[in-house]
Amino acid sequence: MMKQHGLKKQERLNRDIAIGHLFAEGKRSFAFPLLMFYAPTDEVGEVAILCSVAKKRFKHAVDRNRVKRLISSRGYTEEKVKDILKNQNTDEEFRKGIHIAFVMSHNQLPTFEQMNRSMNRLLKDIVANLGAESQAEATENQE
């Protein structure tokens, strides 16, 4: 039986170099209760997502896994991010992939509504910032 929810292996961010680059040089955005780091990549259409929930904040694995499941549920992360990248720029030359890390920054279990609001706000931030970056690149290449 095929897994319906969650991220596929190629959709998970698990390379140490990529994770280090993301946290060191990526942009960050916060919407309670999530902190998001993101960085565009040169690989066209690649979407890789990392979900992090600290053991210090949630002692029980059941709670950590529940939060990760809320974050990585494909309904509102991976598919929306792919749509964002697809609509980001119609010119193939300027399309890029993106690495995203979601870090839980609060020590109480969030509700689905809280997580949904937070994810929507964070994804809108990505759209706004990537749109501005792609327009800047287009103007630089025209000159």
DSSP the chain: ----SS--GGGB---HHHHHHHHHHSEEEEETTEEEEEEEESSTT-EEEEEE--TTT--SHHHHHHHHHHHH-TTTTHHHHHHHHHHH-SSGGG--EEEEEEEE--SSPPPHHHHHHHHHHHHHHHHHHHHHHHHHHHHHHH-
pLDDT digit string, tens, across residues 3-37: 566 677 777 888 899 999 999 999 999 999 999 99
pLDDT at 28: 94
Q: Flag whether pLDDT at 62 surpasses 80.
A: yes
pLDDT digit string, tens, across residues 121-133: 988 888 788 766 6
Instruction: Summarize the confidence of residues 47-56 as an average pLDDT.
Output: 90
pLDDT at 91: 56
Q: Flag whether pLDDT at 1 surpasses 50.
A: no
Q: CA dist 64 to 8, 37, 98, Å?
A: 19, 19, 25
